[in-house]
Structure 1
Amino acid sequence: MKLHGEGDKTMEAYEKIYKLHELMETKTVADLPGPYKVGVDLGTADVVLVVADEAGNPVAGSLRWASVVKDGLVVDFRGAMLIVEELKAEVEERMGITLDKGATAIPPGTVGRNALACGHVIAGAGLEPVCQVDEPVAAAKALGITHGIVVDIGGGTTGIAVLRNGELVFTADEPTGGTHVSLVLAGAYKMPFEEAELLKRDAAQHRRIMPVILPVIEKMAAVVTAMLAGQEEYHDYPVYVVGGTACLQGFENEFSKAFGRKVHVPPHPLLVTPLGIAMFG
């Protein structure tokens, strides 16, 4: 079986993502030997902790919906630290071991204290920071991409990474993401933002809300097009879109039409970047 013609490497990457989702849904642990790597994804709408083995196979993971980050910046340091502590304790109990080191990720272009904040959060939660990577680069790692474009749509920002022969050749980030989808829903249906977030996550409602949020998806495609302006040499590279917003049913088709090129949404796109962060751990 081939997925989008990508071959065995993509199939293997997708199988890892499916496995991670299964482990998180069932709250179980894969029977794989250590040493283990830990990745923590501090997102705008959620915090995810993933453990992988040396080969990048998922071992365990846990997620908590939260609002401790805004536009890629940690705005509730203590809240973020407590959530990571809880996720770490949950996974440690399942695995029967103590996790002591971990990796984090940031939107491309994040610098200074803002870039250091994610490391400080996991350090406060008992994980020694060993690595910090750009979010779309982490997603590319999870997908096994050496030649292509990764678009990571977070809650507050959208980042892209262009890889050629395994090397990062271009990266960029803009402030638009899933939060804007929720804001549009809140306005359209005259509901609180928190209710709009829940509505967005309800797969049974995706067909109904798609016409309402379609302009936001088109805007995201326009933002990515603008970020790639002047990068015509990569016009034939495959494009992968990850992040929670890509979970919306119909997103892949609508984004492709607005972008003017076929894009690929991996299975469980919300988990791709966290798995990639763990691989860097």
Structure 2
Amino acid sequence: MSEKSVAFEYCDKMVEDFEKVIEHPVREKSSVYYTGVDLGTACVVIAVLDENKRPVAGAYRYADVVRDGMVVDYIGAVQIVRELKEQIEEQLDTELIYAAGAIPPGTDLLDSGAVKNVIQGAGFECTNLLDESTAANQVLQMKNGAVVDIGGGTTGISILKDGEVVYIADEPTGGTHFSLVIAGAYGKSFQEAEVFKRDESHHKELAPVIKPVVDKVSSIISNHIKGHQVDEISLVGGTCCFTGIEDMIEKKTGVYTHKPHNPMFVTPLGIALSCKQEEM
């Protein structure tokens, strides 16, 4: 097994454990719970860790409350987060108090207040707020390279050196654009295209359709890593669930590109790892 494969063992194991507890929550009591709230463009995810920072519960729901990384339906976002919170609290027979959140890189002045307000409006005490790519690296544990979070509306990039973020960027282009070209090519509504692309059995057929958008994402990555020593790229975010996207990006950027197991859950787990036990 290569060193790179070993480096991502922790990430893949944590994601696999999280997938299990979504279906079968760990009801054994913990002295504290760390919660991560990920307000994605296409999906809202809540991840809960125990006192040992191991996944114990989680829930997610596809939603349209965020666009291009910005909260556009505040009431809807609060309602979804509150309902998922209550669902998990019932499963664990406990009250979840503290939670952390995340925003696209470089958008803290634009949307950090809205994300914090959604978390608080749902009944949490918001104890941390960080950028999505940095949150993802809490799970990836990459020392040198680029974490690329391809969400619904934007592509966020964090470049790391010796485990520290030295550069962040965020540009429009993501899963929403995949759905738009699919809708156009197949004569489907946007929502129909969203559902169609989530079915893995369609991915081989869709690859040439979405290639121009993946090429655009690759171009964004290449432009931002230019001038930095980036030997590897790790992809996270729901859009990266598309089969073979890592190979398409590696071919365009010329940089080794890795995709962890179920990249949709990496960021929410990283947010949960960043959760603290006191208010901001």
TM-score after normalising by structure 1: 0.94
Within 5 A, what are the aligned runs for 1:221-236? 221-231=218-228, 234-236=229-231
The correspondence for 1:246, drawn from 237, 240, 245, is 240
Question: Any conservation in 2 of the 1:186–1:195 contact (CA below 8 Å)?
Answer: yes
Match of 1:80 among 67, 77, 81: 77
The one-character-per-residue Cα deviations of 1:244-271 (angstroms, maximum 9, x if unpaired) are 1111112121121122222000000000
Aligned match for 2:142, one of 122, 128, 145 = 145
Return the letter of the residue paired with 2:227: G
Report the 3-state secondary structure (helix = DSSP H, G, I; strand = E; otherwise coil) of the residue aligned with 1:6. Answer: helix
SS in 2 for 1:149: strand
Distance 1:175 1:267 in 2: 25
Cα deviation, 1:224-256, whole Å, max 9, x if unaligned, reads 11111222xx132x2101111111112121121
Q: Mind listing any 5+ residue stretches in structure 2 that lack a counterpart? A: 276-280
Task: Tell me how far 1:30 sits from its aligned partner.
Answer: 6.4
Q: Does 1:118 pair with 2:107?
A: no
Identity within the alignment, %? 45
Secondary structure, aligned partner of 2:53: coil
1:23–1:30 contact (8 Å) kept in structure 2: no
Structure 1 counterpart of 2:17: 19
Q: Does structure 1 residue 271 correspond to structure 2 residue 265?
A: yes
Between the aligned partners of 1:261 and 1:144, the Cα distance in structure 2 is: 18
**Residue of 157, 160, 175 corresponding to 1:160:** 157
Structure 1 residues 1-281: aligned runs within 5 Å? 2=1, 4-6=2-4, 8-24=6-22, 26-29=23-26, 31=28, 33-112=30-109, 114-231=111-228, 234-236=229-231, 238-281=232-275
Q: SS in structure 2 opposite 1:131?
A: strand
Matching residue's letter, 1:56: K
Change (3 A) 1:185 1:7: closer
Tell me how far apart the structure 1 counterparts of residues 57 and 208 of structure 2 sit (CA, whole Å). Answer: 36
Letter in 2 for 1:16: M
Counterpart residue type for residue 154 of structure 2: T
List per-residue Cα deviations over 1:112-166 (Å, max 9, x = no partner): 3522100000100000111000000011111122332100001011111112222
Preserved CA contact (<8 Å) 1:148 1:162: yes
Q: What whole-Å deviation, never above 9, does each CA across 1:56-115 have from its counterpart, x for those lacking one? A: 321111000001001111000000000000110111111110001100000011133522
CA distance in 2, matches of 1:183, 1:7: 34
Structure 2 CA distance for aligned equivalents of residues 191 and 27 of structure 1: 36
* Kept after mapping to 1: 8 A contact 2:8/2:260: no
State whether residues 18 and 58 of structure 2, in contact with CA within 8 Å, keep that contact through their aligned partners in structure 1: yes
Contact 1:44 1:155 in 2 (8 A): yes
1:241–1:263 Cα contact (<8 Å) kept: yes
Unpaired runs of at least 5, structure 1: none
Q: How many residues are matched?
A: 275
Structure 1 residue identity aligned to 2:66? V
